[in-house]
């Protein structure tokens, strides 16, 4: 009998083509004669989605039936990147589909590029959440990501006259084939109003919340497939809409305009992502967003729990909730409210369940980035939660007082409530997160150590057993397999494809270190990737670059602590050397920058302008003879990252020691064979340990030296006065040379360096410049460089997010893999 394949699941080229053309015709009303590349993308996306759904539903069903413990990753940001390529790779059908599409005479690359990059995050923290979801599914861990379905993601950045300009990112304009709206699972979220004491049927005194308004939260699920497993987890993002009832009341009262206004008001909650990274904005709407997704997600989890349990006494056995920084920390007060006010549990019982449910990850050491909300604002939006926070704090401090009597100073530091004077109370969200969780973790060894010694030292003293280190990682599927197909093919040719599930396998490639043929291929792959990026730079920026120059790359959010301007100072120093002696022997370099500045962060925007101003002068100066090129690539995002990391020779990881919690871009570069120039900060330390100190370009003060210098009164001016080259660099900026004679434009940068220099660029300058000279000398020896490149790449197993997630599973969440069977 001939086997007839189902168009929605069949995998033969004939069936795939038929399904694809059907999706073109019946879902979009176009055909081969008039379809746009975007139409082809949508047709292919639906073809792939169909092939995910059986596994998706099977996974959900299995979790329900087996009453498994679910890992719930609560995050205000998920920076997922494009789905199409990733889903093809994880389903193991990338090559099959690519060939099938090409047999139809279509351009597969072009189709992939049609997908808008879902930018529902700012940077490291959001991208980490996405890598974690990939690893959870790949390790067959029952998990769900909960967040906000922002209608506008991170802004699109363009550069005009050297300045950043922000354009709204209307990513849902043409629909989203990957999401499944689930309106039947909508829940209501309350906001505002007041609280009231009442007596229940047993005469017990209780509190109820009389909210001012109710918003509907509508879940939209995106399937998250594991790599070559049957597990497909969900990313559940909530959209805010006006709740029917409220809308209707106004409508019936004849207030049509008011009811429409209320609807718009409700929808603003999930309208736009706040584009701040490591700089909090204490805005009411931001708090409303945080509460909105957390309240909806907890209701969802309670509903799931009550389907298979009679009450909430063992809620913590159903859900392990990870708080991605303090952005979702209001969940601690909300779960207490749900348990105590709405389900009648006793406070102490509810508190035990709450602490057993939550775990908190801290992502920052910058004191100004720790979230605080004014009690007045919090109480206005969430009156009952403010009372609950006061109660949590009261019982907590009472408990501490029995252990440490008469230590008011300690109590003041531990308190969730900060008395800022004049009755101006602030709620410290990190303190709430620490008190309400059974686990507190940092994201790299140094970061965790500094949390314990400094940022959270009082909590570390009180509860040393609550602290864990979980060094970050990134998924090798997106960051090697998808981004660098040529390198991946070489790996697989030599050692098979087990490395994709166990990155330690790559170590086996060390045996080829002395094989000249292998090294040649390694070098050729890097050159081919560089040529691709060069073509992109020519096309998008009209800048011609030399693929034999060092591709020296710094891509990340623009922030003073990350010190993009330190790299710019070094570029100007090289330029000055050429101007002094145009025949100086210089190893050619292409400096590539990319990253977004928070729209309200003036200095970060000025650093972008300075970079572009230096690029303009350097790139066109005939004395330079093309030996230096500076390129700022606009709109750095996940998709652009996929092009850039594989093409870099040198990875710039140059934050002031003690400021970058971990970094994850550093890992993506190293896996793709870039060498790192870096400080002893964040995960750089561990990358250097793994790669070997001899394969890492180290410079700069240590975190301890930074503190010591600050304590002894740091004077940046003395570095300026005593270092001729550095003085020449700063004077060049001051003179207006890069600003058409305008000596005011960059004054804020110059003055901040000379008179304050919070991030110690001047103290680290010479060490950085010397280290860059070593980089240049190393690059002259192609063989030596290639060996170092190979060793960096094959020794990065520790930085697979599979390792990170496995540690979270074993030590914090206490969960195990669950196999999904496709048999009925």
What residues are annotated to the active site? Answer: 363, 556-557, 562, 664, 668
HSE toward the beta carbon, residue 327, CA cutoff 13 A:
31
Phi then psi for 62, rounded to 5 degrees?
-60, -45
Measured from the CB atom, the residue of 97 and 430 that comes closer to ligand 26Q is 430
Range in contact with ligand 26Q (rule: CB under 6 A) among 122-130, 216-224, 535-543, 750-758? 122-130
Strand 697-698 to 675-678 pairing: parallel
Q: Which of 253, 261, 281, 535 binds ligand 26Q (CB under 6 A)?
A: 281
> Residues near 476 by Cβ (< 8 Å), separated by ≥ 6?
499, 500, 503, 671, 800, 802
Beta carbon of residue 750, minimum distance to ligand 26Q (angstroms, whole number): 26
In the complex, minimum distance from the CB of residue 281 to ligand 26Q, in angstroms, rounded to a whole number: 5
| Options 35-43, 124-132, 460-468, 807-815: segment touching ligand 26Q (CB under 6 A) | 124-132
286 lies in the site for ligand 26Q, by CB under 6 A: yes
Q: Which is nearer to ligand 26Q, 77 or 262 (CB)?
A: 77
Task: Look at strands 319-324 and 156-160 and give their pairing.
Answer: unpaired
Site for ligand 26Q in 368-407 (CB under 6 A): 369, 371
We find the least distance from the C-beta atom of residue 129 to ligand 26Q, in angstroms, to be: 9
The secondary structure of residue 714, as a DSSP letter, is -
Write the interaction track for ligand 26Q spanning residues 635-674; mark x where CB under 6 A is met and - where it is not.
-------------------------xxxxx----------
Choose the binding region for ligand 26Q from 121-129, 155-163, 493-501, 606-614 (rule: CB under 6 A). 121-129
Closest residue by Cα to residue 576 from 749, 761, 737: 737
Name all contacts of 243-246 with Cβ < 8 Å and 24+ positions apart.
243/188, 243/214, 243/215, 243/216, 244/216, 245/214, 246/213, 246/214
Give least dist CB 804 to ligand 26Q, A: 10
For residues 226 and 231, what is the distance between their CA atoms, to the nearest angstrom? Answer: 6
* Candidates 116-124, 382-390, 609-617, 723-731; binding stretch for ligand 26Q (CB under 6 A): 116-124
Question: In 712-781, which ranges are continuous DSSP H helix?
Answer: 716-722, 724-734, 747-755, 761-780
240 or 242: CB nearest ligand 26Q = 240
Q: Which residue is nearest to ligand 26Q (CB)?
A: 124
Q: How far is the CB of 733 from ligand 26Q (least distance, A)?
A: 27
Q: Are 243 and 270 in contact (CB under 8 A)?
A: no
Please write down the HEC assignment for all residues of 7-19.
Answer: CCCCCCHHHHHHH
**At 550, phi and psi to the nearest 5?**
-70, 125
Least distance to ligand 26Q, CB of residue 440, Å: 14
Q: Which is nearer to ligand 26Q, 285 or 754 (CB)?
A: 285
- Site residues for ligand 26Q, 465-494, by CB under 6 A, read 472
For CA atoms 506, 510, 513, 516, the dihedral sign is negative
* 8 A C-beta contact, residue 588 and residue 549: yes
187 versus 558: smaller Cβ distance to ligand 26Q: 558
- Residue with smaller CB distance to ligand 26Q, 247 or 364: 364
**396, 435 Cβ separation under 8 angstroms:** yes
Q: With CB under 6 A as the contact rule, which of the stretches 119-127, 139-147, 295-303, 566-574 interacts with ligand 26Q?
A: 119-127
Looking at 142, 147, 225, 280, which residue binds ligand 26Q (CB under 6 A)? 280
Indicate the residue among 271 and 577 with the shorter CB distance to ligand 26Q: 271
- Chain center to CA of 77: 7
Contacts of residue 783, Cβ cutoff 8 Å, sequence gap at least 6? 519
In the list 72, 88, 89, 128, the residue contacting ligand 26Q (rule: CB under 6 A) is 128
The minimum distance between CB 163 and ligand 26Q, in angstroms, equals 23
Burial class from Cβ neighbours inside 10 Å (0-12, 13-18, 19+) for residue 579 reads middle
Give the three-state DSSP class for 704: helix
Using CB under 6 A as the binding rule, whether residue 594 contacts ligand 26Q is answered as: no
Query: Between 571 and 640, whose beta carbon lies closer to ligand 26Q?
Result: 640
Residue bearing tokens 């003041």: 412
Do the Cβ atoms of 118 and 222 come closer than 8 Å? no
CB of 170 to ligand 26Q, least distance (A): 21
Residues 670-709 that bind ligand 26Q (CB under 6 A): 682
Give the shortest CB-282-to-ligand 26Q separation in angstroms: 7
Angstrom CA distances, 250 to 52, 253, 265, stand at 43, 5, 14
Q: Which stretch binds ligand 26Q (CB under 6 A): 33-41, 120-128, 201-209, 419-427?
A: 120-128
How many residues touch ligand 26Q under the rule CB under 6 A: the total is 24
- Joined together, the tokens standing for residue 628 give 């230096």
Cross-strand partners of 594? 555
Q: Does 363 bind ligand 26Q (CB under 6 A)?
A: yes
- Which range in 204-212, 279-287, 499-507, 772-780 contacts ligand 26Q by CB under 6 A? 279-287
Does residue 73 bind ligand 26Q (CB under 6 A)?
A: no
Query: Tokens in use for 167?
Result: 């354009």
Residue positions counted in the chain: 824
Residue with tokens 């030596």: 784
CB 147, CB 237: distance < 8 Å: yes
Compute the least distance from the CB of residue 595 to ligand 26Q, in Å: 12
Q: Which stretch binds ligand 26Q (CB under 6 A): 123-131, 207-215, 622-630, 791-799?
A: 123-131
Binding pattern for the stretch 412-451 against ligand 26Q, x by CB under 6 A and - elsewhere: -------------------------------x--------
| Separation CA 553–CA 532 (nearest Å) | 15
Which of 327/477 has CB closer to ligand 26Q?
327
Q: Which is nearer to ligand 26Q, 81 or 663 (CB)?
A: 663
Site for ligand 26Q in 258-277 (CB under 6 A): 274, 276-277
Residue 666 C-beta: closest distance to ligand 26Q, Å:
9
* Closer residue to ligand 26Q, CB minimum distance, 322 or 472: 472
Question: 459: which residues sit within 8 A by CB, 6+ positions away?
Answer: 414, 431, 434, 440, 466
Q: How far apart are CB 322 and ligand 26Q at their closest, in Å?
A: 12
Q: Does 125 bind ligand 26Q (CB under 6 A)?
A: yes
Q: What is the DSSP string of 70-95?
A: EEEEE-S-B----SHHHHHHHHT-HH
Q: Which residue's CB is nearer to ligand 26Q, number 444 or number 788?
A: 444
What's the rounded Cα separation, in Å, for the pair 294 and 337? 13
Residues that bind ligand 26Q (CB under 6 A): 122-125, 128, 274, 276-278, 280-281, 286, 363-364, 369, 371, 443, 472, 660-664, 682
């Amino acid at each position: 009998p001939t086997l007839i394949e189902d168009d929605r699941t069949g995998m033969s080229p004939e069936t795939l083509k038929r399904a694809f053309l059907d999706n073109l015709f019946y879902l979009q009303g176009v055909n081969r004669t008039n379809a746009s590349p975007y139409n082809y993308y949508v047709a292919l996306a639906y073809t792939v989605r169909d092939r995910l759904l059986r596994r998706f539903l099977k996974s959900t069903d299995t979790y329900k039936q087996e009453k498994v413990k679910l890992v719930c990753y609560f995050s205000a940001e998920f920076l997922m990147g494009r789905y199409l390529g990733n889903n093809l790779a994880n389903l193991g059908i990338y090559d099959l589909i690519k060939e099938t599409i090409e047999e139809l005479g279509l351009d597969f690359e072009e189709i992939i590029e049609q997908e808008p990059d879902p930018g529902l995050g700012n940077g490291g923290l959001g991208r980490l959440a996405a890598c974690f979801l990939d690893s959870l599914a790949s390790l067959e861990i029952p998990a769900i990501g909960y967040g906000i379905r922002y209608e506008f993601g991170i802004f699109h950045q363009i550069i005009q006259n050297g300045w950043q300009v922000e354009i709204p990112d209307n990513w849902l304009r043409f629909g989203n084939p990957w999401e499944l709206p689930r309106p039947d699972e909508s829940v209501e979220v309350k906001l505002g109003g007041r609280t009231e004491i009442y007596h229940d049927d047993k005469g017990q005194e209780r509190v109820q919340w009389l909210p001012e308004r109710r918003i509907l939260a509508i879940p939209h699920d995106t399937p998250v497939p594991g790599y070559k497993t049957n597990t497909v987890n969900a990313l559940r993002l909530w959209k805010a809409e006006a709740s029917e009832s409220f809308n209707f009341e106004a409508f019936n009262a004849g207030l049509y305009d008011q009811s429409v206004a209320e609807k718009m008001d409700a929808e603003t909650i999930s309208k736009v992502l706040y584009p701040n990274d490591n700089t909090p904005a204490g805005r009411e709407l931001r708090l409303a967003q945080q509460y909105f997704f957390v309240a909806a997600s907890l209701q969802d989890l309670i509903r799931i729990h009550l389907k298979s349990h009679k009450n909430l006494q063992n809620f913590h056995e159903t859900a392990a909730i990870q708080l991605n920084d303090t952005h979702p920390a209001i969940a601690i007060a909300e779960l207490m409210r749900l348990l105590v006010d709405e389900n009648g549990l006793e406070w102490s019982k509810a508190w035990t369940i709450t602490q057993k449910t939550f775990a908190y990850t801290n992502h920052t050491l910058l004191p100004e980035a720790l979230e605080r909300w004014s009690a007045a604002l919090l109480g206005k939006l969430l009156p009952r939660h403010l009372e609950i926070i006061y109660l949590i704090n009261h019982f907590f401090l009472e408990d501490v007082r029995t252990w440490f009597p008469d230590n008011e100073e300690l109590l003041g530091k531990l308190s969730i409530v900060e008395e800022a004077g004049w009755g101006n109370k602030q709620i410290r969200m990190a303190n709430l997160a620490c008190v309400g969780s059974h686990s507190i973790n940092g994201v790299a060894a140094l970061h965790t150590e500094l949390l314990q010694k400094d940022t959270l030292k009082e909590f570390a003293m009180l509860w040393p057993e609550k602290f864990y280190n979980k060094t970050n990682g990134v998924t090798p599927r997106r960051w090697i397999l998808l981004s660098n197909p040529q390198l991946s093919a070489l790996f697989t040719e030599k050692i098979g494809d087990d490395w994709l599930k166990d990155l330690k396998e790559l170590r086996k490639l060390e045996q080829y270190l002395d094989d000249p043929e292998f090294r040649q291929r390694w070098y050729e792959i890097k050159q081919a990737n560089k040529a691709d990026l060069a073509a992109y730079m020519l096309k998008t920026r009209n800048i011609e670059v030399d693929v034999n120059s060092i591709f020296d790359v710094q891509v990340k959010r623009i922030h003073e602590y990350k010190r993009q301007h330190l790299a710019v100072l070094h570029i100007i120093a090289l330029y000055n050397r050429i101007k002094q002696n145009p025949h100086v022997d210089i190893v050619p370099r292409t400096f590539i920058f990319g990253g977004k500045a928070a729209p309200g962060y003036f200095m970060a925007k000025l650093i972008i302008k300075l970079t572009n101003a230096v690029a303009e002068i350097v790139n066109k100066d005939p004395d330079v003879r093309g030996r230096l090129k500076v390129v700022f690539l606009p709109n750095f995002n996940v998709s652009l990252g996929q092009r850039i990391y594989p093409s870099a020779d040198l990875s710039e990881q140059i934050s002031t020691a003690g400021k970058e919690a971990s970094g994850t871009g550093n890992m993506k570069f190293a896996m793709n064979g870039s060498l790192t120039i870096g400080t002893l900060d964040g995960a750089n330390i561990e990358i250097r340990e793994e790669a070997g100190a001899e394969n890492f370009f180290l410079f700069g003060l240590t975190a301890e030296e930074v503190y010591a210098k600050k304590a002894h009164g740091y004077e940046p001016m003395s570095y300026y006065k005593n270092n001729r080259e550095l003085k020449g660099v700063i004077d060049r900026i001051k003179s207006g040379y890069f600003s058409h004679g305008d000596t005011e434009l960059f004054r804020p940068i110059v003055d901040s360096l000379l008179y304050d220099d919070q991030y110690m660029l001047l103290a680290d300058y010479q060490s950085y410049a010397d280290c860059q000279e070593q980089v240049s000398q190393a690059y002259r020896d192609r063989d030596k460089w290639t060996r170092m490149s190979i060793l960096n790449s094959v020794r990065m197993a520790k930085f697979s997010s599979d390792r990170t997630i496995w540690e979270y599973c074993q030590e914090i969440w206490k969960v195990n893999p669950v196999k999904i069977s496709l048999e009925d």
